[in-house]
Amino acid sequence: MTHDPKDLEKITAVTLDHYERYAEQFWEGTRDHDVSQNIAVLLAHISCEPPFTILDFGCGPGRDLMQFKDRGHNAIGLDGTRNFAEMARAHSGCEVWHQDFLKLDLPEAHFDGVFANACLFHIPTQELPRVLRQLHATLKPDGVLFASNPRGDNQEGWVAGRFGAYHDLEAWRRYMSTAGFSEIMHYYRPEGAPRERQPWLASVWRKSEDT
């Protein structure tokens, strides 16, 4: 699917507007979700000495920022939803950047890890390679990126007022490897459920040494 600039502006505006309008409901509905498995695998594969500098990409209202901070790490949040950015600052006390995913302004080689939990699927497929390269560039050498997205059969479109792109494992591997990442591991969530009841594909990637 090809999107012209106006299409991309609409995708961003409509999706963000949904989150702006339902920010409080989203917080109440997700604040108790247990993503400790995802946080643990990211931290376990960062090879430098802690504390780590972590970018919580698509941080939402700040649930996971608090987890990184409580573990003693330097966590910075980023979200395109203004209400989420404000809520994340209030809930976590961390620095939070308000940035559109399609208009990122990230520092070069700054982070030991990027935590992209349930957010990269909102990026239209044609823009995904560029965004992944930007995340690659903001990682320090040997840095680690965690991603979790609802899996699918490589279709994209509107679902419940939000735009989403739903990749299978092989397609996701192609995007990540082309962007300069090497796969560490992948798994499906929720943990312990039959595969047909595991809608989330989680994966961990290292910034390749030769990029």
Per residue of the chain (211 residues), what is the pLDDT tens digit?
799 999 999 999 999 999 999 999 989 999 888 899 999 999 999 999 999 999 999 999 999 999 999 999 999 999 999 999 999 999 999 999 999 999 999 999 999 999 999 999 999 999 999 999 999 999 999 999 999 999 999 999 999 999 999 999 999 999 999 999 999 999 998 888 888 888 999 999 999 865 5
Structure tokens at 115: 């935590």
Buried b (16+ CB within 10 A) or exposed e, 198-209: bebbbbbbbbee
CATH number at 194 reads 3.40.50.150
Residue 93: give the domain boundaries: 5-207
What's the number of domains the chain is made of?
Answer: 1
Looking at residue 197, its pLDDT comes to 82
Residue type, 120: L
Can you give the pTM of this predicted structure?
A: 0.95
C-beta separation of 62 from 39 below 8 A: no
Looking at residue 210, its pLDDT comes to 59
